[in-house]
Amino acid sequence: MEAERSELQSALRKTHLLDEVDDYKQRIQNLSDRIASNCLTEEQIAERKFAFYNHDIAYLENSLAKPLSEQAYISKQAAWDRFYVIPSRCLNKPLSVQYLEWCIENKQVQFQQFDMLWQQKSTQTVRSEVTSNDSFHEFKLPSKAERTKLSAEREIKRHTYKSDSFLPKNIILLCVLAVAVFFSLIFVFHWLMRPRTTLK
């Protein structure tokens, strides 16, 4: 089931059709629920909760990447603490197992984005001869407030898409109703204007 879920997540990242996205998300959610209810022991759930709530980036780091010096690790940890924003649904305590999987995956995705920015910063630093007081040398990230605002806007857009999805059905219904009223008025007008026979 884990492999199937990984394949679905990979397919979800590659698709661009909204219908397929909803279908993939539903299938992933169903698999996550089944895994959580059937496959995970209490110890595994506790380990995952610890991994999610742990601030240390050591377990998120790629084991194949070259190890960081202590100073680089400390600065990367500080930058990660400024970068990472916990989604609102992950703030609920106690966190249910079905949301725990999503929250851990979200944290890993955010770390991948962060790591990509960090590596770009590292390559730029190595390539250029910069002085330590040069502003270019600093690793600048959006503030937590900006990232929280963006995250909230994404959540609002996600919910408004679902709530606005009834709009086309209502427009079609209104058009059908307008056409029906139009033709019924024409019928009534012709019926009133028809010549009447008079009795003599």
CA-only gyration radius of the chain, Å: 29
* Contact in structure between 88 and 155 (CB atoms under 8 Å): yes
Q: Which long-range contacts (CB under 8 A, 24 or more apart) does 134-138 make?
A: none
Q: CA nearest 107: which of 132, 127, 81, 128?
A: 81
Peptide bond into 195 cis (omega under 30): no
Digit-by-digit pLDDT tens for the chain (200 residues) are 667 767 776 776 666 666 677 777 777 777 776 766 666 666 776 676 666 666 666 666 665 566 667 787 788 888 888 888 888 877 777 767 767 777 878 888 888 888 888 888 777 665 554 444 444 445 566 667 777 787 778 777 766 655 555 556 678 888 889 999 999 999 998 888 888 777 76
What integer pLDDT is reported at residue 67 of this predicted model?
64
Query: pLDDT for 165-185, tens place per residue?
Result: 555 667 888 888 999 999 999
* Contact in structure between 98 and 37 (CB atoms under 8 Å): no
Instruction: Compute, in degrees rounded to 10, the torsion defined by CA atoms 87, 88, 93, 98.
Output: -60
What integer pLDDT is reported at residue 135 of this predicted model?
47
H helices within the chain, ranges in order? 2-14, 18-38, 42-53, 70-83, 97-127, 144-164, 167-193
Q: Which amino acid is present at 83?
A: F
- Report the distance separating Cα 97 and Cα 48, nearest Å: 9
What integer pLDDT is reported at residue 137 of this predicted model?
46
Q: Which amino acid is present at 182?
A: F
- Report the distance separating Cα 35 and Cα 84, nearest Å: 27
